[in-house]
Amino acid sequence: MSRPPGGGGNALEVTGIGRRFGHVVALAGIDLAVGAGEVLTLLGPSGSGKSTLLKIVAGYDRPDCGIVRLGGADITDVVPARRDIGMVFQNYALFPHMTVAQNIAFPLEMRRLAKATIETRVAEALALVGLVGYDARRPSQLSGGQQQRVALARAIVFEPRLLLLDEPFGALDRKLREQMQVEVKAIQRRLGVTTIFVTHDQEEALVLSDRIAVMEGGRIAQVGTPAEIYRRPVDRFVASFIGESNLLPATILSASATGFVADAGPGLVLHARVEDGMPRPAAGTHVTLVIRPEAIRTRGAETVSNAATARVAEAIYVGDRVKYRLVTEGGTRLSVAWPAGADGPLATGSEVDLDIPATAIHWVAA
Amino acid sequence: MSAATRFTPGWAALGIAPLCVLLLFFVAPVFRFLLFSIADGTLAPFEKALTDGLHMLVFLRTLEIAAIVTVICLALGYPFAYWLATTTPGWRAVGFAFVLLPFWISVLVRTYAWMILLGRNGILNRNLVALGIVDAPLPLLHNTTGVVIGMVHVLLPYMIFPLYAVMRRMDPALLGAARGLGAPGWEVFRRVYLPLTLPGILSGATLVFVVSLGFFITPALLGGGRVLMIGVLIERQVRQFLDWGLAAALAVIVLAVALGIYAALRRLLKADLQWS
C-alpha cells in the first residue's frame, strides 16, 4: 500500500515469514520492508505475533519459513552476535554486575575496538542520552528512565545497522514515558538509524512512527503512515484498535463515482464521499461505517452534509475536550469529542443538532 | 537477601523451644569440650598443637584435601546445576532425585558402599581388570584418592544447591542481550554468566570447604587410617591418647579457621557483589 519513504532503499526486508508453536500459528506469512532511516512500528495486541517477528529479526528465534534480509544480505541463519542489530529490551536487560560505562562499552569490547576508541565512544553515547557523569554507577542505582537511557546508549553505541525497541516504555510512568518518547525520537532522527519499534500502545505508535504495521493474529492487517492508518483503516479491527471510532453497521443504498449513500439505522441515512482512487462499496452490500468522534460536528450555519439530532446520554470531561455519548432520534449510539467550551460541557439529556461531514465517513467490510 | 527477613514476637516464640534444645544438647557440650583446651589454666595445649610438626602436617593435608574436594565439586556441580536450572520440569525432577536420594542416605552407609566399590577386589577394579583397561587393580581405597571420591560424593549437593539457586534466578534476557551485542558463546559465559553466578560459586565453595575441614567418617573409613585429616587426628587424641586438652585445642583451631573463611566470604559478598 505505502512504500517506505526516502530513497535509501530498504534496510530490512522480511519475506514470507511463518512461525508456529505447536498448533498455534504465531506468524502466517509476513512480508514487510523497512526503509533506511525509517521508524516502523509493529503495533498489535498481545498474541498478535509482533514480539515473535521482532525475535526473528533479532535472531533469537528462527522462522519455519521465509527470509530475513538486512542491507540486501540474507541473515535468516545468522546468529544474533553477528547481525549488528542493537536492541532495547522490555526490561532493559542491563548487566547488573557492570557499571553504566562497562555496560555501554560491552558491544565495543566484543568488536575488539581499541581502548581509547571505546572510551571516546562511550563518552559520546553517554552525552547523547544525557547521562554524563553516571559512568561509574550500577544499574541498580539508576531510576527507570535512566536505565532506559543506558539501554539505548548500549544499543546504539556500536552503530548498529538496525535498532529494535521492544516495548521500551512499558515500565515507565506516563509523564516519563512521554518525555522518553520525544527524546528517543530525537536521538533516532539525529543518528538516522533504521528502527523497528514494538508496542501495543496505539498512542505511542502514532507519536513515534514514520509508518505503522498493525498486526493481528499473526498477520499484518495494514501498513501505512499514522495518518493513513487513522483516517483510512482497512478493516474493523484496525479501525477499533487505532484511536476511538464509531463503528456503524450499514447497508449501501446507492453508490456513485464520488461516493455512496448508506442506511446506518433508523433515521440515519448518510451521504459519504470517497476519495479518488479509493474503493467504493457496491449497492446493496452490508458494510461498517467508521466515523471518528472528533469528525462529527455540531450543526452551525455552514453547509450540512448529513444532519441528525441526538440527545446527550453522558458527558465525560477530560480537560481539553469533552467526550459525549449521544443517542440519535432513531436510537443509534454515537461517540463524539468536542473542545470544552467556556460554558462547560453540555448537560445530560440536552438535545444537539449534528453534522456528519461526508468526507469523515469511511467504510470497511462488515 | 538483606531486608527481607523480619521477625515478629509471635514467630520468635516458636523458636525458643528448639533454641533451648540446641543450647542444651549441642552448644553446651561443644563449648564444654572446647574448654578442655584451657582447663589447666595454661595455653600449653595450643602450644603443643601449633608447634608439633605432625599436627601442622596433618592440618596442611586437611586444607589440601578440602581444596581438592572443593574444586572437584565445583567442576562437577557447575555443569550439573546449569543443566538442572535450564532443563524441562520433568528432567529437573529426575535430576533432583539423583542429587537428593544420596543426600538422604546416611554418610556411613554411603561410605561403606564406596568401600565395596573401590576396594582392591571391588566391583570397579574387577571390571577394569576384566575389561583389560588396566593390568593391575588401581589403588583406590585406603588412600587420598578414595577419601576424595567419598567426600565429593557426600558434599556435591552442598555445591549444587547454591549454584542452582543463582542459576534459576538468572534473567535469560541478559544472556540474549549479550549475544545480541556481539558476544560469542564463551564471552557470554565469561563476561555475564560466570560473574552473575559467582555468589553461588562462593557460597557453594565455602560450604564444601568448611564442611570438608571437619570431615571424619569418610576419611577414617576410606582412608583406612593412612589418610590423616584433622578430624581423624582429634578423634585419636581423645580415644587413644586421652589427651582431651590437645584435642580441644586442635578443634578450636579448626573452628577458628572455618569461621575465618566464612567471615571473609561474607565480607566479599557484601563488598563486591552488591548488585545482587
Average pLDDT of A211-222? 94
Nearest to B181 among A96, A140, A154 (CB): A154
CB-closest option in A81, A83, A95 to B174: A95
B274 close contact with A: CB closer than 8 A: yes
B2 CB within 8 Å of a chain A CB:
no
Instruction: Please tell me if residue B21 touches chain A, with a CB cutoff of 8 Å.
Output: no
Most confident range (mean pLDDT) of A107-111, A256-260, B40-44, B57-61 is: A107-111
Q: Residues near A136 by Cβ (< 8 Å), separated by ≥ 6?
A: A99, A100, A101
CATH of segment(s) A10-239: 3.40.50.300
> Range(s) for CATH 3.40.50.300 in chain A?
10-239
Q: If pLDDT is split at 50, 70 and 90, which confidence band does B33 have?
A: confident
Model pLDDT, residue B93:
95
Q: pLDDT tens for residues A318-358?
A: 888 899 999 998 889 999 998 887 777 788 888 998 999 99
* Interchain pair A106, B178: CB under 8 A: yes
The arithmetic mean of pLDDT across residues A38-66, rounded, is: 94
Query: Complex ipTM above 0.85?
Result: no
> Per-domain residue ranges for chain B?
9-38, 44-272
Q: For residue A4, with 0-12 CB atoms within 10 Å meaning exposed, 13-18 middle and 19 or more buried, which class applies?
A: buried
Where does residue A239 rank: exposed (0-12), middle (13-18), buried (19+ CB within 10 A)?
Answer: buried
Distance from CA of A9 to the nearest CA of B (A): 25
- Which chain A residue lies closest to B273 (C-alpha atoms)? A97
CATH superfamily of B44-272: MetI-like (1.10.3720.10)
User: Taking 80 as the threshold, does the pLDDT of residue A2 lie above it?
Assistant: no
The pTM of the full predicted model, rounded to 2 decimals, is 0.82
| Chain A residue at shortest CA distance from B192 | A95
User: Is A141 within 8 Å of chain B by CB?
Assistant: no
Average predicted confidence (pLDDT) for chain A: 90
By Cβ distance, the residue of A58, A91, A139 closest to B180 is: A58
Q: Is the pLDDT of residue B3 over 70?
A: no
The tally of CA atoms less than 13 A away on the side-chain side of residue B232 is 20
Tell the CATH topology of A244-365: OB fold (Dihydrolipoamide Acetyltransferase, E2P) (2.40.50)
Instruction: State yes or no: pLDDT of B276 exceeds 70.
Output: no
**CB-based contact, B178 to chain A, within 8 Å:** yes
pLDDT value for A117 = 96
Mutation site for B-interface testing, chosen from A62, A106, A113 by largest number of B Cβ within 10 Å: A106
Alpha helices, H only, chain B: 9-14, 16-22, 28-35, 44-51, 53-86, 89-104, 107-118, 123-130, 144-169, 172-180, 185-188, 194-213, 217-222, 230-239, 244-272
Query: Is B178 in Cβ contact with A95 (below 8 Å)?
Result: yes
Across the interface, do A106 and B181 touch by the CB < 8 Å criterion?
A: yes
- Judging contacts by C-beta atoms under 8 Å, the chain B residues touching residue A152 are none
The stretches of B171-225 forming alpha helices (DSSP H) are 172-180, 185-188, 194-213, 217-222
What is the average per-residue pLDDT within B163-174? 94
Q: State pLDDT tens for residues A273-304.
A: 988 888 889 899 999 999 999 999 888 767 67
Model confidence band, residue A188 (pLDDT cutoffs 50, 70, 90)? very high
Pick A342 or A366 by higher pLDDT: A366
In chain A, what residues touch B268 (CB-CB under 8 Å)? none
Chain B nearest C-alpha distance from A63 (Å): 17
Which residue in B181, B192, B196 has the most chain A C-beta atoms within 10 A of its own C-beta, making it the best mutation to test that interface? B181
